[in-house]
Amino acid sequence: MVPLMLQAGPALPSSSWELVLHSSPETKVVLAITLVFSAISWFVIVLKWWQFRRSRLQANRFFAELERTTRLKDAYHAVMKLPPSPFNRLFREGLSFLGELRPGSLRDAGQAPAPGTLSMTQLEALKMVLGKEVASERDVMARFIPWLATIGSVGPLLGLLGTVLGVMDAFIGIASKGSGNISAVAPGVAEALVTTVAGLAVAIPAVIAYNLFVNRLSLFAGELEGFANELIGTMAREGLL
């Protein structure tokens, strides 16, 4: 008699996928939102990885071109031929502003530059221009990275919300059926935990990528600031300031 009653009852889910397919509408909504967050997270991860990699390749090409020259005047004409890049734009901005402060300072060899040196006010203005360019390049590289922190924080909470809704539905079903044995409780609890797993699966890669990109962004900004200071030092050494 007992086997016949078990056969007549509803089939219990045997895998996580079946739990998702037979889950409540609330759980499916939470899983759909989690899936959207996951797609956004991986899009940002791939995008920022590609941007940082491209920036590193451009920087290597830029510095390789600088090493072939001995003076800033020659480097300026060589760098003008390269495609735009963060270090390239910083270099051009600094030398272009210097050319405005001291017209003729970047003339070809054999032509005397404009006489005189920069005042302290002009030197501070040059530093501010370079600092503004560094901040601008850092902001461009930092774009969309905060989304990873947001998804990493919201993902587990969203999964917990789905779990709470699933447990509530499970207890409501138990109360309506008047049965509290393990076979009646287990499917509802398992279904509720699916959203927790989904939320953690979204949050963990996002948090790891966020920490890696923030560290890489800090190194990138430090390299730009170091290059800006080195550029000012080179200008002073060659008598351009």
Q: What tens digit of pLDDT does each residue of 99-133 get?
A: 888 776 665 544 444 555 777 888 899 999 999 99
| pLDDT single digits (tens) 45-79 | 999 999 999 999 999 999 998 888 888 888 888 88
| pLDDT single digits (tens) 189-217 | 777 788 899 999 999 999 999 999 999 99
- In this predicted structure, what is the pLDDT of residue 7? 42
Q: Does the residue 100 lie in any domain?
A: yes
| Between 126 and 186, residue with greater pLDDT | 126
Burial of residue 133 (number of CB atoms within 10 Å: 0-12, 13-18, 19+)? buried
Q: Does the residue 201 lie in any domain?
A: yes
The proportion of the chain whose per-residue pLDDT surpasses 90, expressed as a percent, equals: 46
Number of domains in the chain: 1
Compute the distance between CA of residue 101 and CA of residue 123 in angstroms, rounded to an integer. 9
Residue entry with tokens 């590193």:
56
Q: Does the residue 10 lie in any domain?
A: no
Q: Determine the straight-line distance between the first and last CA of the chain, rounded to whole angstroms.
A: 99
Q: Does the residue 182 lie in any domain?
A: yes
Burial of residue 98 (number of CB atoms within 10 Å: 0-12, 13-18, 19+)? buried
Q: Does the residue 33 lie in any domain?
A: yes
| pLDDT single digits (tens) 132-170 | 999 999 999 999 999 999 999 999 999 999 888 888 877
Contact yes or no for 61/189 (Cβ under 8 A): no
- In this predicted structure, what is the pLDDT of residue 32? 92
DSSP class of 106: T
Q: Does the residue 150 lie in any domain?
A: yes
Burial of residue 40 (number of CB atoms within 10 Å: 0-12, 13-18, 19+)? middle
Compute the distance between CA of residue 4 and CA of residue 12 in angstroms, rounded to an integer. 15
User: What's the domain range around 199?
Assistant: 19-237
Q: Taking the CB of residue 167, how many other CB atoms lie within 10 A of it?
A: 16
Band of pLDDT at residue 22, cut at 50, 70 and 90: low
Q: Does the residue 199 lie in any domain?
A: yes
Band of pLDDT at residue 226, cut at 50, 70 and 90: very high
Q: Does the residue 230 lie in any domain?
A: yes
Q: Tell me the whole-structure pTM to 2 decimals.
A: 0.81
